[in-house]
Structure 1
Amino acid sequence: MKVQTMKTMLLHHHAWGRLLSGVVLGLMCAQPSWADPSGTPPLGAVFHDCALCPQMVVVPAGSYLMGSAETELGREIYESPQHRVMILKPFAVGRFEVTRDEWQICVAEGPCQAQSSRTGMGAAMIPGAGRLPVVDITWEQASQYAQWLSERTGQPYRLLSESEWEYVARAGSQSAYAGGDTFVAGRANVSPAMTESDAVPAAWHVGSFAPNAFGLYDLQGNVWEWVQDCFHDNLAGAPADGAAWTERCTHAESHMARGGSWKTPSVQTRPAHRAWAHGSEADIGFRVARALTP
C-alpha cells in the first residue's frame, strides 16, 4: 500500500509539472500588483511581483529591543544580551509562509526539489493541501527558492535576517508575545492552543488565524521559519542594523529558525525565542523578504 501511494504521488507531481511548464514563464513576467507610478508600494500595501509569486506586505522602518528581558517568563540565556536594532528602510515581507503550491511552481521550473514523500502522507488528506506551508526542506533549498524568485522577477528576494524576523513578529510590541505578556490560546496553531474538537496534528493552512499589526500571518506557531543567519549561541556581537549575521558562527553548518510550530509549547512562539537546525525537519518552513529600493 505504501509503494502504491508513493507511486501515485510521483505521477501527480509529474503531471503537475507538465501542466505548469507551459504557463509559468508568462505568469512569472506579469507586472507587480500595485499602481504607484514611482514603482514603490506604500506602507502596508499587499502586492505580488507576478501572478504566481508569494504575496508581500510592505512593513515600515523602525527600531526595537532584540532579545528577551531578564524578567520575561520562559526566557532562555541564548536570547541575550538584549540590544537595540534599527531597521533603516521599509522592506517587503511574505504575507504568509511559502506554500506547497508556490514551492511546486519552482519544482516545475527545475531549481527546487520535490518534497520528500513523508511530508505528503498526512497533509495530502487535508482539503486545499496546496495552501499548507511547505516543510521538510533544508535551509539551502529555502535559499534556492528565494534565488529563483529573484532571477524570475528581477527583484532581490531572500530569507529574512534573524533580527528582521523578530522585528516583524513583534510588529511594534516589546511584550513577551506580540499580543501581550501571556499567550492567548486560539490565536495560533501551537500545541497548547489545540482542542480535541478542532486539533490537527500538523500544520494548518496559511492565514488560518488573524494577522499581526503589520498584516503578516502565522509568525506565531504553525511551522518554524528558516532565516538567513548561521547559528550563534547568544546575541553578543549581533548586528544592530537588521543585517543577517553570517560571520563568526558557533556552528556554520547550522542555521537559525524562528516562531515555533504546531508541535511546540507556546513559550517557544515568543518573538525573542531562538532555535536552530542543521537539516530539514517536518515542521520547518520559511517566508521570503525583499528590498524595495536599491
Structure 2
Amino acid sequence: MVVETAVGVTLTIPITELSQLALRVNRPGHPPLFRSLQRLNPANLIQDRMRDGTPGPQMRVLRGGRYTQGDLQGDGDGDERPTRLVSLQPFAIGVYEVTFEEYDRFCRDTGHRRPDDQGWGRGDRPVVNVTWVDANRFADWLSRRTGQRYRLPTDAEWEYAARGGTSSRYWWGDDVVPGQANCADCGSLWDGEKSAPVGRFLPNPFGLHDTAGNVFEWVQECWRDDFSIPPGQDAGVGDGKCGKRVIRGGAWSFPHQEVRPANRWRDFPTRRSDDTGFRLVRELRAD
C-alpha cells in the first residue's frame, strides 16, 4: 500500500502490517486529534487480559528476521558503528510507550513509589521519572498479572521496531518533516516544553507510535561506546560492571538528530529524568 501524507511524504507500507485506518484532525489553537476509524488486521495485535479481566497494553507482533543495525547514512555518532547484521526472532512490542495510567495501576497494586509528572498531567502521557530498575519491576509485575513474559526490549529489537522496515535517516524519510514527532525542534505543539500524550503523531510503518521523540526509552543493554561486541553478548545484569544503560528514541527536550532510529544515548540505571520512560516487549511462545 502506498500512501502520501499531507506534507507530501510518500510511504510504502506492506498491507500485512496495517492494523487500522486512522484520521488526524488539526485544530487551530488545540492539539491535533488522532482517532481510529477501522481495524484491518487484528491478527498482529495482542492485548492480554490481567487476572481480574482488565486489558493490558496493546502489543504489535513483529515478524523479526535480518536487518542492518546502526548508522546507515554514514553521518551518525561513533557509538552507532560499525553497522552490524542482526537476526531477530518474532516478538511483540508496545504500540505506545507505557503511560502514567498503566504505571499508576502498578503503583497502587504494589505500593511502589508514584513518579512525578512534572505538572503536565498523567493519564495517557508517557510515564517519566522512572529508573531502569523501575521499568523492570513494572515488566515483572505485568508478567505476573497476565501469565505472559514481558520485559524491556533489547537494543537490536528496539531499533528494528523503530525503523519500521525502513533504512532511511528517520522512519518517514531522510529529512525532517514538521509535525512528525515531538522533539526540541520538530515543529510540534510540545517541542522543547513537555511530553505529548501517546499516539498524537502518525505511527511508523509497523504501526508503532512515538518511536521518534517524545521520551527516551530504556532498553536492556549496558552502554558500550560502539558496536564491536556481537548482539546478545552485551546485555549485562547490573552486577557492578554496568555503569550505564542504553536509552533510545530521543525526547521532547533533544534536537531532531537524536530522534533517528540509529541514535543511542545512555543514563545511569538508577537515575530518574523527565525525558525518559519505556515501552515493553512481550515474548511469543513457540507453539
TM range, smaller chain: 0.7 to 0.9
Q: What residue identity is the alignment partner of 1:209?
A: F
Aligned counterpart for 1:209 among listed residues 195, 201, 215: 201
Identify if the C-alpha distance between structure 1 residues 181 and 158 changes in structure 2 by more than 3 Å, giving closer, same or farther: same
Q: CA deviation at 1:177?
A: 1.1
Identify if the C-alpha distance between structure 1 residues 150 and 72 changes in structure 2 by more than 3 Å, giving closer, same or farther: same
Between structures 1 and 2, the one with greater strand share: 2
Q: 1:53 maps to what in 2? A: 56
Is 1:140 aligned to residue 133 of structure 2? yes
Structure 2: state its 5+ residue gaps.
Answer: 1-40
Q: CA deviation at 1:254?
A: 1.0
Q: What residue identity is the alignment partner of 1:284?
A: T
Identity %: 36
Between structures 1 and 2, the one with greater helix share: 1
Q: 1:276 maps to what in 2? A: 266
Once the two structures are superposed, what CA deviation does each residue of 1:60-94 show, in whole Å capped at 9, x if it has no partner? 1222111103x434x11111010100113x21101
1-side partners of 2:255 and 2:124: how far apart? 24
Is 1:263 aligned to residue 267 of structure 2? no
Q: Where do residues 176-187 of structure 1 align in structure 2 (5 Å cutoff)?
A: 176-187=169-180
3-state SS of paired residue (1:145) = helix
Q: 2:181 maps to what in 1? A: 188
Q: 1:108 maps to what in 2? A: 108
Q: 1:8 maps to what in 2? A: none
* Number of equivalenced pairs: 240
Identify if the C-alpha distance between structure 1 residues 254 and 166 changes in structure 2 by more than 3 Å, giving closer, same or farther: same
Q: CA deviation at 1:43?
A: 5.5
Aligned counterpart for 2:65 among listed residues 53, 62, 65: 62
Alpha-carbon RMSD across the aligned residues, in angstroms, is 2.2
Q: 1:171 maps to what in 2? A: 164
Q: 1:155 maps to what in 2? A: 148
Alignment check: 8 A CA contact 2:171 2:204 kept: yes
Alignment check: 8 A CA contact 1:221 1:262 kept: yes
Alignment check: 8 A CA contact 2:216 2:275 kept: yes
Comparing 159-168 with 50-59, greater Cα deviation is found at 50-59
Aligned counterpart for 1:291 among listed residues 278, 283, 286: 283
Structure 1: state its 5+ residue gaps.
Answer: 1-40
Q: TM-score, normalised by structure 2?
A: 0.78
Identify if the C-alpha distance between structure 1 residues 293 and 206 changes in structure 2 by more than 3 Å, giving closer, same or farther: same
2-side partners of 1:181 and 1:267: how far apart? 11
Q: CA deviation at 1:107?
A: 0.3
Q: TM-score, normalised by structure 1?
A: 0.76
Alignment check: 8 A CA contact 1:257 1:276 kept: yes
2-side partners of 1:292 and 1:247: how far apart? 22
Identify if the C-alpha distance between structure 1 residues 261 and 136 changes in structure 2 by more than 3 Å, giving closer, same or farther: same
Alignment check: 8 A CA contact 1:65 1:84 kept: yes
Q: What residue identity is the alignment partner of 1:222?
A: N
Alignment check: 8 A CA contact 2:48 2:146 kept: no
Once the two structures are superposed, what CA deviation does each residue of 1:16-66 show, in whole Å capped at 9, x if it has no partner? xxxxxxxxxxxxxxxxxxxxxxxxx97532433342421111111222111
Is 1:120 aligned to residue 118 of structure 2? yes
Tell me which stretches of 4 or more aligned residues in structure 1 moved more than 6 Å.
none
1-side partners of 2:254 and 2:102: how far apart? 25
Q: What residue identity is the alignment partner of 1:76?
A: D
Identify if the C-alpha distance between structure 1 residues 207 and 42 changes in structure 2 by more than 3 Å, giving closer, same or farther: closer
Once the two structures are superposed, what CA deviation does each residue of 1:158-212 show, in whole Å capped at 9, x if it has no partner? 00001100000011111111111222121011111236x7657100000000111
Q: CA deviation at 1:251?
A: 5.6
Aligned counterpart for 2:235 among listed residues 234, 240, 246: 246
Q: What residue identity is the alignment partner of 1:72?
A: G
Q: 2:11 maps to what in 1? A: none
Q: What residue identity is the alignment partner of 1:268?
A: E
